[in-house]
Structure 1
Amino acid sequence: MSLDWETVDRRARSGDQPGVARLILEATEPERLAFAKAVESGIKGTDPEVYWRAHVDPAPGYALAVIGTAPTAARAATMLLRRGLRDSWQRIQLGRLTQIADARHLDWLGELGERLCVRLPTRDVWDGGDWAFAAGLLHAGGAQPPVTEGVVRGWLARLIGLRDGRTPPLSGRLRDDPHLDLLLPGVFEIDGMGADIYHATWGEDPAQKSGMRFHDAVAALVAEGRLERKPILAATVDRLARGDKPNALRPFVLLHDELAPTVDEIAAHALDYARLLAEGPGAIATLAQRCLRTLDDTGRLDVDTLLESSLPVLFRKEKALVKAQITWLEKVARREPERAAEVFETVAAAFGHPALDIQERALTLITRHLPALPADTVARIAEATTALAGDLPARAAAVFGTTVGAGPGPELPPYPGPALMPAPITAAAELAEEIAVLVHEESGVRWERVLAALVSLHSDGRGEELATVLPPLLDRYPGELSDDTWNRGAALACLGAAISVATGRPRDHGTHQRLYGAVRTARQEGRRGGIGSDLSSAPDGVLALRIAEIAVHLNGSMMPMLVATPTHVNGNLDPEVLLDRLSRAEAEGWQPWPFDLEQALLRLPRTEVPAEVTRRATALTSPAGRQLAQWLGSGGLPDPASELFMQVPAIHERGFVWGVDVPRRMAATLRPSRDGGLRLERQLLTLDPPAHPKWAPDQFGERPGVLAMVLPHHREVAAAWAIGELAALADQDQRGNGRLLPLLAEGTGRIGPALTYGMAYTFGAKQEADRAAAVDAFLMMAAGPEPFAGPVGAALADLASDSAVKLNRVLPALSDVHRSGGSAAIWELLTAALPPLLAANHRALADLLELATQVAVAIGARTEIPGLAAVAGRPGTSRLVREAKRLHAALAA
């Protein structure tokens, strides 16, 4: 019979794989080959939405038609890798496929399997279904898989994922798998494979949920001789030595423990263990320390290797590991007195550890053995005591007869202020390049340069150049630069409309009408969002409104320039520069667009304006000039009222908690302090947070500069709008939003509860990069005139009370500020945070007291801290009591 696409398509769309196979089998081979082009054309012409909107997925039927007609493995692979067909591999009836291949006497099924294996995904592999399909083809064709990352991940995911109660345990599946010897080494060699094992957690077996099944299975195969012990142990140690993320290494740590290496096996990998001790994550370094101590106990560890690996260990943050290393070194010194001098010089490296109790342990140990050490060794150790901190330099001076170093640590340099804006864009090609970058990475500075250039180049008669280089961007980025339901009112979509206007490209009348309506609504009613406006009502909507204003008015008036373009990267606009721009406008007879002018006024600093600028402004007669003079005379935009607002999780009527699983989240309300004013200001200064926290808020995270540059001299306003995103860094372990804080620190204005709580939340962020941003912002603000550190300390104490912020995350950041010269500000923070934490007996209090001692000694503080004497007077020798006594003594010295 002859084949036709309509019949094949109809059966495929009805899910009739046997029917499709029957059509292929009943045809002759010449008919099949002749039908191949029709199959390819039919599949390529299928609407992509058919694959996910159809009641029955037609892709498996299409795949059988491909196998039944393709002349080569290459042609078949090309079709099977198409997006619609690729998603259907797991639903293809492999028996039907091999039946067709047998009828055609195909000799390229193995090659097809190899081609598909090369394209297997390396991320989001899930259950390895794609691998299972490719493996079926390999088996049918008698071929072996290539050892690629996608193959190894798919193979392992399939083995781990088969848990339906009828399959044998993982050890049995591994034992019987034909690819075990070929692919298992890749599990150890490919980075991140351990995470695939660790995250295979579904099922009822608790052991399975901790990733234990893999290590149990491999160890069982080693014990029975199916796998050779020596290469498996070597691969395990090598995997640990090469490093990876902690959860990716955990299965190999468990396998190492299960294999329980002998002394001889540890000796064979002694250098690897030494490296792990120095550089590995905490759990792995502890494993290495245990193995090396076992080796040392048998007299088979070289002392030089021990001393060399000990130096980096003595600076590690894991205190238990460092203390164990110091104890071990003392044991070696007692056992080999001829090496004692070298050992204790090594121990002296711990004087530089950031924790005072580690420094104290090292000093106490060395002091005990000092009489037996040579004079030159004692002299070198005495020099090393300069690294001691807190009250320990005085103790060392008494022991070694040295003098105590005087003076505080490094001083905080004055903050030079924000940088000037980059040079303006002067060429259409440069503008096109900047817009292409903007699509991928929005920033406030980049937005301002693009808008300024679009207007100035258009007014300079460069329309032909713009029409040549900008329209291709609209075609290249249709999803971002066009108006659609998902991005309607977004700044990039508004920019696409403005580009169309600037280049004479036919405009979308629906888009133009929506933008015109949004601008009109903002002018008449002073709002964005709601009926008549698709723009965001949040501060980032001001940018979209300004772009909409450009798109609406660009061809209606030959505006030579924007007046709101800032002079500094934080959004600040020099009053004299704005005065010059408005003076030019008055002289040339043009008026700035309304929202361009309002944004310009909102960017003016609120400090005293030079008298000459005020005099020149009052001499202007244009509406814009008179508005500038009035703005300067009134002192600009007054601070709004901002108050804390506590959000709590929403509770379903049956007691189920929806949304954010946090005890509470602090937000802030805003209220303008005057009536009237600019059209923009009421909406910017009015904020009523929802009653319940939002899950993973991210409105401003991708472009924090846009938020900060709207009101650069009212940073409390920006902080109030973004405090949810800063809070989520700590209570939801989000990332990236800390970038906003240094931008706010570069601004000016009142520091209120939103900014202080935002700083406290960011100090407690999970990600180190966000905490580093908080450190940078704190140092910049500490160099300014506004007092703020005390309120931040009070906020930290409040948030730590119910672990909304974890103090163990905060402490390293505070220590970084202290080491960077911000000691006075950190002391102000600590004196505000310590009293409530002492009263609450917080579990991380000992570490905070230790830091307080270091800071107090560095600046010579004598402040009385309420509640400290009571804790220092408690009986016992707990670390909390010891650190309280240390701080109390330092303050009384």
Structure 2
Amino acid sequence: MTLTWEMLQDRALRGDPAGLLTLLIRAPEQERLAIAGDVEAGIRKSDRDAWWRSESAPGYANPNPGYALAVIGCMPTAARAAALLTRGNMRTWATIGAPRLTEVARFRQIPWQGELGRRIAERLPARDADGNLWPVISALLQAGDAEPPITENVVRAWHAHLVSVRTHRRDRSAPPPLSMRLRDDPHRDVLLPGLFEFAGLGADMSGGSWNETTGSWSNEPRLPGIIAYLIGEGILERKTYVDLTVDRLLRGGKPNELRPFALLHDALEPTVDELSSHALDYARLLPEAPGAVATLAQKALRTVDDAGRLELETLLDTSGPTLVRKEKTLVKAQLTWLERVARREPARAGEVLETVAAAFGHPALDVQERALVLIGKQIAALDPGTVARLADASAVLAGDLPARAAGLFGVAAPVTGDEVPELPPAAPPAAMPPPITTAAELAEELVVLVHERSAIHWERVLAGLVTLYATEGSATLRAALQPVLDRYPGHFAESSWNRTEPLLHLGVAIHSVIDPGRSGGLWGRLVTSVRTAWQDGRRGGHDSALSATPDGVLGLRVAELATQLTRTMVPLIMATPTHVTGSVDPSVLLERLRRAEAEGWQPWPVDFEQALLRLPRRTDPGVVAGATALTSPAGRQFAAWLTRGGLPDPVTRRFEQTPDTGRRDHWARDVRRVVAAMSPARDGGLRLERQLLTLAPAAHPEAYPDTFHESGDVLTMVLPHHREAAAAWVLPELAAMADQEQRAGAEVLPLLAECSGPVGPALAYGVAYGLGARHQENRIAAGDAFLTLAGRPEPFAAAVGAALTDLGADGVLKLSRVVPALTDVHRAGASVALWEVLAAALPGLLPAAPRGLPDLLELSTQVARAVRADSRIAGLAEIAARDGSSRLVKEARRLQTVLGH
């Protein structure tokens, strides 16, 4: 029986590797080589996803392991074999295991096993999805007496297999300890140094692993300790790994990437000689490395200095930048060290203390004060020139320290400038991008919308579709848009998960133009949903294709477009914004309505209501006069809207959601959340109005809300001049950034700030929650919103301060997160508004004394001095008058001094 590819494929598909192996072994070498081309062609044609489809197909096995046997058994060269085994449709082939593959190779006596191992290793992906791949590569390399290529991906795969507890032994016995696995690994000496050489591998080493000795999971990286143990046993060379460790720390990286090497450094316990040989390296690490590594370097340098082997110039050069690091513990330790050196070497005390003065530029007042006190202890021994230079350096001191420094150095106290720092007015919102003018441009924008569903892209696509249908017709749009629909069928064709997606409704609208009748059933449901929304003022509900939340207004508009586009021949959309906030210029809407009257058509009703909701609060009298001359129903409604002042502000109220004691999860039982309830200020009004302005929160907080994570800009564009209403809807998600440590959601805060309208409890609490968010990027977004609000005329600071008091007094917001965010606001120039926030927040926070309050008082001192504040803070004097020297009392006294009370 002659061997054929079909025979091998049949056994592979049936999951019979033993039978396939028998066929290969029994066939002559000539037959195996003769079908190499057929094997190659068959594998190239095979189903790319067969490896996972087999899991849900009875009687159908993953063919990749069998195909791998066929490759090893038939290919004439390593190059052709590696090309097949590394194809995308050959994932998981290595589950066949190394013994069977090497058995075929040994039987054929092929000389290129080592070359095959190297070729496969060179093509390893960055993150190997097949955990069985490295054992096969290793077996091939050993069989061919070849060394592995030293690349990041190879070292990563080797390390991942090394620390894994999985074993392929048939007896299922426990794997040997990690120390034994590393000691006996055939590739250890070649690949272990690669863990130090490739920067991306530090994070791989920092994870925990299973400890076979204790039978438990260890959160600590185990490899550093094992490397140190093998060095102690003489298996690894100590000098090599000390040098590698210090060199890896020098090359830097994120803290988690450097942590394993810092642990190894500690485990090695370098001698004084070893530390001295790397003194300049530690001097580079101290001012620049992450905190834990800098602390390690500081300890090493102090050991060298205590041994009398550290040059003073090296210490002074590295101390200057170290003394302005944010880690106060590290900085204070450096100051203590410098104080000892100054006393030890009185002849050079002036140089040392001038270096100490670098700490005057530290952002923390207690660090500045410590440096000043240290200098004051030794100032009597300094020459006049040194004292003068120290006095000059003290010009950067903040809070109450400038006056103290003036007394110490015998100079005049500095006088703050006449101008209070103030932000310039915020720039007006940018204009919308120009309209789409060609079908090709519309197709491009549609593709962009699929990938980035921003409100601006939505508005351009809707306006472009309506205008181009009126001017270019169906044929032109069909030629441009049909390829886009074909390319993204999952977005524009109905499925169980996208029935309320505006993108699906847009697909219906496009099909109604280029292929009428294709979406008849869905088109009919959209007609019903639009009719219900218009007649009852209600979106959402059972079987509705529309969302009930405000961002659902976009879905309603798209649905209206889909049902009206080919029926009414309206040539333009009324609600297309003129600015990126969603605002519509009244003069532009006036011209649109004049055109409608001149051409004899009426705007679509939902589109027109959205246009009215986007009008600003104040309108030029000339536009109002022009509106009163309109005669169409829409024109008269426009004139009445302008005359009556537009949409009244809704009523928003603080609403406290209490912990749900009936829930098992820890979060729901312990956290209170403040959100906003909202109701319209009037009965009647627009059909969209009541649902947009009515919000009744539940009694208990919602866990991990995410309604607006991807549509914050769509939400703010609905009511661009009533940002308090939009903030009320999105507030639960902003709160979750702080009390549930969610990452998404803060992008909406700067958008709300760029809109207009009074700031009420919803936006104030939203900003407060953002300032106390878990993730830094969210606090930055909240800071950006704060800066924008500070440049606008609407008052907001007192409301934000009250929110910070409410949420900070009992620890709902962590002041340790809030203070750095407010510090950035101060440095950006919004000090006047920030002082209003602090002056409103401190009276309520002082009695509660939450954790982090001293830091907030320290910031308040800096801000108060910058704006020359003279207000009285209730409760501050009482704390400042307490006995003792706790940091809270010291910072209260400092602020009291700056305020002049």
| 1:17 equivalent in alignment to 2:26 | no
1:86 maps to 2:91: yes
Q: How does 1:2-41 map to 2 (within 5 A)?
A: 2=2, 11-12=11-12, 14-29=14-29, 31-32=31-32, 33-34=34-35, 35-36=38-39, 39-40=42-43
CA separation of 1:861/1:177 partners in 2, compared to 1, >3 Å: closer, same or farther? same
Contact 1:128/1:156 (<8 A) preserved: no
Deviations 1:681-711 (A, max 9, x none): 2332233445554554443333432221111
Instruction: Provide the C-alpha distance between the structure 1 equivalents of 2:224 and 2:158, rounded to a whole number of angstroms.
Output: 16
Letter of the aligned partner of 1:95 in structure 2?
P
C-alpha displacement at 1:231, in angstroms? 1.9
Give the whole-Å Cα distance in 2 for the aligned partners of 1:674 and 1:271: 73
Normalised by the length of structure 1, the TM-score is 0.92
Specify the alignment match of 2:592 in structure 1: 581
CA distance in 2, matches of 1:441, 1:414: 31
Question: Is 78-87 or 289-298 further displaced after alignment?
Answer: 78-87
Alignment of 1:654-803 (within 5 A): 656-657=664-665, 663-690=671-698, 693-803=701-811
**Worse-superposed segment, 56-65 or 203-212:** 203-212
CA contact (8 A) 1:663 1:802 kept: no
**Secondary structure of 2:675's partner?**
strand
Offset at residue 722 of structure 1 (A): 1.8
TM-score, with length taken from structure 2? 0.92
For 1:290, the equivalent position in structure 2 comes to 299
Map of 2:339 onto structure 1: 330
Aligned AA (1:844): G
- Which residue is 2:219 aligned to? 210
Distance 1:98 1:767 in 2: 50
Matches within 5 A, 1:474-489: 474-489=485-500
1 CA distance for matches of 2:8 and 2:522? 43
Alignment of 1:547 with 2:550, yes or no, is no
Say what the alpha-carbon RMSD is for the aligned residues: 2.9
Once residues 834 and 191 of structure 1 are traced to their aligned partners in structure 2, the CA distance between those partners, rounded to angstroms, is: 46
Deviates more, 1:857-866 or 1:49-58: 49-58
Separation (CA, whole Å) in 2 of partners of 1:849 and 1:307: 32
CA distance in 2, matches of 1:75, 1:670: 69
1:523 aligned residue: 534
> Equivalents in 1 of 2:846, 2:88: separation in Å?
61
2:627 to 609, 617, 624: 617
Structure 2 Cα separation of the partners of residues 26 and 370 of structure 1: 95
Partner of 1:590: 601
1:630 and 2:640 are equivalent in the alignment: yes
For residues 254-310 of structure 1, give each alpha carbon's deviation from its aligned partner in whole angstroms, at most 9, with x where no partner exists. Answer: 100011112222222222211211111111111111111112222322222222222
Query: What is aligned with 1:401?
Result: 411
- Deviations for 1:615-647, whole angstroms, at most 9, x for unmatched residues? 222221212212212322332222333334444
1:349 aligns with 2:358: yes
Distance in 1 separating the partners of 2:699 and 2:2: 68
- Out of 617, 641, 651, the residue aligned to residue 641 of structure 1 is 651
Confirm or deny: 8 A CA contact 1:650 1:658 kept in the other structure: no
Question: How far apart are 1:11 and its partner, in Å?
Answer: 4.8
Q: Which amino acid aligns with 2:789?
A: M
Pick aligned residue for 2:467 from 444, 456, 479: 456
Q: Find the partner of 1:100 among 100, 104, 114.
A: 104
Q: Is the 8 A contact 1:277 1:313 kept in 2?
A: yes
Partner Cα separation in structure 2 for residue 639 and residue 681 of structure 1: 11
Q: CA deviation at 1:514?
A: 4.4
Deviates more, 1:826-835 or 1:773-782: 826-835
| 8 Å Cα contact 2:50/2:62 also seen in 1 | no
Q: 1:29 to 1:680 in 2, by over 3 A?
A: farther
Native 8 Å contact 1:521 1:532 kept in 2: no
Deviations, residues 804-830 of structure 1 (Å, cap 9, x unaligned) = 322111111111222233223222222
> 1:604 and 2:609 equivalent?
no
Report SS of the residue matched to 1:135: helix
Q: Distance in 1 between matches of 2:77 and 2:633?
A: 76
**Is the Cα–Cα contact under 8 Å of residues 208 and 222 in structure 2 kept in the other structure?**
no
Counterpart of 2:885 in structure 1: which amino acid? T
Letter in 1 for 2:388: A
Q: 2: CA distance between counterparts of 1:877 and 1:269?
A: 41
What are the ranges of 5 or more consecutive residues in structure 2 without an aligned counterpart? 168-172
Specify the SS of the correspondent of 2:678. Answer: strand
Distance 1:334 1:742, change over 3 A: same
Whether the 8 Å contact between 2:774 and 2:817 is mirrored in structure 1 is yes
> Which residue type is aligned with residue 638 of structure 1?
P
The aligned amino acid for 2:156 is R
User: 1:527 and 1:136, CA in 2 relative to 1: closer, same or farther beyond 3 A?
Assistant: farther
Which segment drifts farther, 538-547 or 255-264? 538-547
* Counterpart secondary structure, 2:199: coil
Post-superposition offset of 1:357:
0.8
> Post-superposition shift, 1:472?
2.9
Query: In the alignment, is residue 559 of structure 1 matched against residue 570 of structure 2?
Result: yes
Separation (CA, whole Å) in 2 of partners of 1:531 and 1:765: 36
Distance 1:571 1:722 in 2: 17
How far is the alpha carbon of 1:188 from its aligned partner?
1.3
Aligned equivalent of 1:255: 264
Q: Deviations over 1:694-737 (max 9, x none)?
A: 55444333343222111111212222222232223223333353
Alignment equivalent of 1:380, drawn from 382, 389, 401: 389
Structure 2 equivalent of residue 363 of structure 1: 372
Q: Contact between 1:420 and 1:567, CA under 8 Å: does it hold in 2?
A: yes
CA contact (8 A) 2:98 2:135 kept: no
* Amino acid in the other structure paired with 1:519: V
Query: How far apart are 1:515 and its partner, in Å?
Result: 3.8
Equivalence for 2:245: 236
1:133 paired to 2:136: yes
Deviation at 1:220, TM superposition (A): 0.9
Residue in 1 that maps onto 2:865: 857
Specify the code of the residue in structure 1 equivalent to 2:619.
Answer: V
Say whether the 8 Å CA contact 2:208–2:221 is kept in structure 1. Answer: no
Return the offset for 1:780. 1.7
Contact 1:649 1:658 in 2 (8 A): no
Q: Which residue of 1 aligns with 2:69?
A: 64
Rounded to whole Å, the distance in 2 between the matches of 1:672 and 1:281 is 52
- Local SS of the residue matching 2:674: strand
Deviation per CA, 1:498-551, whole angstroms, max 9, x where unpaired? 444455598444444444444334334433333342332222222233223333
Give the aligned partner of residue 118 of structure 1.
Answer: 122
Q: Give the AA of the match of 2:653.
A: E
Map Cα deviations across residues 53-77 of structure 1 (whole Å, 9 max, x no partner). 2356423344434444455545544
Instruction: Return the letter of the residue paired with 2:692.
Output: L
Helix, strand or coil at the partner of 2:193: helix
Match of 1:186 among 171, 181, 194: 194
Describe how 1:828-847 pairs up with structure 2 within 5 A.
828-847=836-855
Cα distance, 1:10 vs structure 2: 6.0
Q: Deviations over 1:411-439 (max 9, x none)?
A: 12122321222222333333333333333
Contact 2:576 2:584 in 1 (8 A): yes
Distance 1:264 1:138, change over 3 A: same
Q: 1:368 to 1:42 in 2, by over 3 A?
A: closer
Contact 1:736-1:769 at 8 Å conserved across structures: no
